[in-house]
Each structure stands twice: as C-alpha cells, then as structure tokens.
Amino acid sequence: MGKKIMLQGTASNVGKSILTAGLCRVFKQDGYSVAPFKSQNMALNSFITKEGLEMGRAQVFQAEACGIDPVADMNPILLKPSGNHRCQVIVRGKVREDMASSKYHTYKPQLAKELKTIFSEFSNNYDIVVMEGAGSTAEINLREHDIANMGMAEIADAPVIIVGDIDRGGVFASLAGTMMLLSEEERRRVKGVIINKFRGRKELLEEGIKMLEEIINVPVLGVIPYSDIKIEDEDSVTTRFKAVQGKRDIHIEIIRTPHMSNFTDFNIFETQNDVSVRYVGYGEALSNPDIVIIPGSKSTIDDLKYIRENGLEEQIKELQKRGKLIFGICGGYQMLGKKIKDPYHVEGEVEEIDGIGLLDTETIFEKEKTTTQVEAIIHPNLSGYMKNLSGKRVKGYEIHMGISKPGSEVSYLNLIDKKLGEEVSYLEGSINKNGNVVGTYIHGIFDEIDFTRELLNSIREEKGLEKLQSNVTSFDEFKQNEYDKLADLLRENLDIQKIYEIMTEHENKIL
C-alpha cells in the first residue's frame, strides 16, 4: 500500500477539492503515480466513466490533474439529493437505492465495511492517494457513523491536513474550534493546517499564525492566495453563479433551476473571449441573451414547474420567436418537448405534464437510468444556427431516466456511432425546423471546441460580426495548463517537503 494524505475542511466550499487536485498535480510532476479518493460525495454534478459507471465530477477533474482516467472507486459513494430528505445512493458507480436520510444514517456501518475493502484494493495501485473529506470535519452530531471525514481517515489510516477559508472570515477561530471539537485520537491524526483564499499581505498574518500554532499544536503548512485559476467547482455552492462577466459580443444565460445538475457542461464558455455568461436565479428574469440554456436536472418535472411558475417559460417562448437560440441539455431537453410522462412515478406523483412545447418531442420516464459515454457526428442538412455544424464530431456522456421520442416537426441532431467504446449507429437529439431550438442528452457536448466555436460563430454571423478562432486549441489542453498553474501556486505557498515528510513518517508509523 502506498502513501496517503487526506485534506479535510472546517466547512464546505473552503477549497478542499481544488487543493486536492493541486497536490495530485504536484505529486504527478514529481514522478509518482497518484490518484484522488473521496469516500462520500453529495452532489448533483456527476460523470459517467468508460465502464458506464457514475461518479462525482470533483474526482474527475482531480483524476485529470493526475493524468489518469477517472474510475468510480475514486468516489465509491455518491449521494444525489432528490428532495424531501431523500437521496439516490450510488455505490461503486451503480444506483443501490433511493433512501430517506434517516435510513442512510443507519446504513453507514455497512458502507464502512465496504469502504475498507474498496480503499485497500484501490490504494495498492498507486504510489500516493490524495484523499478528500466532505463538508466539515467537526460535525459532532454525525461522528458516530462518519464515513466521510475522520471515519474514513481511520479506515484508511491516513494523516490529515485541515483546510480553512480566510476569505469568509474567522479562519483562526474556525481552525482552532475544529481542533477543539475533535477527539484526542482524531487530533493526533491531524498533522497540519492550510489557510486558503487569502487576499492580503502575508506579513500581516505572521503573528496570528504563530499564535494559532501554539493553540492547535500543529503547523500551518501554507497560506494559499486567492486565485483566478479556472478549475471546476465541487458543487452548487460555487460563487460562479453570482458572477456576471462584462459586456461581450455573445451573451449566454443559463437558467439556474433548484435541481440543476452538471453545470460543468458550461465551463468551456469561460475560455472564449467573446462570450459572457449569466446564471439566472430565483426571482430573476431573462434579459436579451443570444443563447438561453436549460441545463440538466435531477428532478425534471419540479424544475419545469419552477420555470413555469416564475414566468421564465413565457420569456423563453418570446425569445425563441425573436430568433434567439434555445438549447436544452438532458432534463432541459425533456422540458422543451410537448409532454413528459412518468407512468412509474420515478420522480413523484405527477404522471403527465405539458412541456414548454418548443420541440415536437414526448418524453417517457423509465425505471432504469441510462448511464453511458457516447461519441457522435452532427447530422447533415440542419438549419438555422446548426447549419454549419454538420459533420462535426462531439462526445460526452448521458445520465437520464427517460426516452424522448421525436415527432414530424423536428429533425435528429446527431448520429451516435460509439457507445462505451463499441461501434453503434442510432440517432439522438432534436432540432426544430427553424434551427433555433436544440435538445440533446449529451453532457459535455460543448467541451468539443470545434463544435462550440462554430456554434458561436453562427451567432456572430447572425449578428453581422466576423467569425473568430477559439483562443484555446482544445478544452483539455486548457485544463491541463490550469492544473500546472495550480501546482505552481501550491509549490510557491505550501511546504510541499513537509507534506512528503508527513506521509513518509505516517507510513513508517512514526506518529
């Protein structure tokens, strides 16, 4: 079994996921085989592996930082909230059960036994495993059956570093209070702390750091400055949704529904210099965007009701009449159709509901979830904004419960020719006759820069603007450069040598 280190936090959104990715990249650059691991992840952002298994997206970008393919055992337990104190429990990439929170709490001891086996098998394949906790490490009301933080550190016998976020204020109290709430055994496992997201002059912190170290009896391993490195966020607590970029040639608005999933589908737009993105939240109206995107959803019917009740449906229809592009991904695709039917009560008591009606499609929810990776070719002879995209290759993954059947008033969007690496041939997606309403089940379709840049240039052409080349050659290359920037940031501001020593000493049981 190789070395391991675990990053835990004083709270959610302190930067554990990104720091985990950064350490993964540092260790990879130093020549080690390294992998991420997060025992339990609660998120609606998920990914489908080459094996057709589902996992949290945070461990996907961390795997990218390691230079390896993501596998489901990097995130063996994924919880997808479904409302009313219930969540879908996914274990090793497959749905196990839809559980109430109370039942899940009593189910954890069984999962702890599985995690011990999973981690032992997994960690044997790598020189270093960088582990990530979930939420706060000092959730004293959940300690008894904890499998996400100190409970997992004990299962893996891993040393722990605690991360605090100074940007939100009170970082010294957060770190000291967290240590105080840990048991004596848990405190012995903590080998250092990191102060993250600092915006000021570090010399102003020096006295406070000395005082903190005297109180908690472990070293501050580094102070990481706030940075604008463009790497995926862990979940919907991200500040990305609050940001509005400056005025640019093309403006995209994404409807932030209550159960929005896979918002990482749209990170690619941030790499394009002529694009601004705005997430439209509760109580907000659409403005005058060039593209409206309805994203994926964990609860399609509830999110459709939200769009309808908040007046967004009529705004979407008006924008479509004015020739704007309306694009639906997965659940958003289903909403754009004429009907959604749920005969097996997959989502709730509503068996049938009218869709927005901009696509001549009808969706029927099935009992089994579709989880697959696909590759496709955009269908020939499309109209409107898609007219110049015929023949473009795209790829991504599907996660959905329904099948959408097209009517006579739409054309298929693409031909799927690969599924989980095997050659296939079937049609997918829909586009209306005017070519300004598009729907697909393929998450990640925008990550293909040739497809996305040509689509953006179709918007530019419609507005009488010159076409532009992408300012990145590929999204993957862009991300790899960002991981290198992150590694540089950590090397400059973290005691990496001390972290190596912590792992080695713990491996040798010098506690």
Within its chain, how far is the Cα of 59 from the centroid? Answer: 9
Q: Which of 24, 259, 330, 400 is catalytic?
A: 330
CB 199 within 8 A of CB 226: yes
Is 443 part of the annotated catalytic residue set?
Answer: yes
Strand ranges for 101-173 from DSSP E: 128-132, 160-165
Q: Which of 251, 379, 400, 443 is catalytic?
A: 443
Token pair 């909403």 is found at: 335
What is the C-alpha to C-alpha distance for residues 39 and 76, in angstroms, rounded to an integer?
6
Strand ranges for 140-268 from DSSP E: 160-165, 190-198, 220-225, 250-255, 260-261
Written as six digits, the tokens of 238 are 């991200």
**210 in helix, strand or coil?**
helix
Q: In what order do the strands lie in the sheet with 190-198?
A: 34-37, 128-132, 3-9, 160-165, 190-198, 220-225
Written as six digits, the tokens of 294 are 């309805």
User: Which residues does 393 contact at the CB level (< 8 Å), separation at least 6?
Assistant: 375, 376, 377, 378, 448, 450, 451
Q: Residue 127: name the closest of 62, 33, 23, 36 by CA.
A: 33
Written as six digits, the tokens of 272 are 């394009």
Is 259 part of the annotated catalytic residue set?
Answer: no
Q: Which residues are catalytic?
A: 330, 443
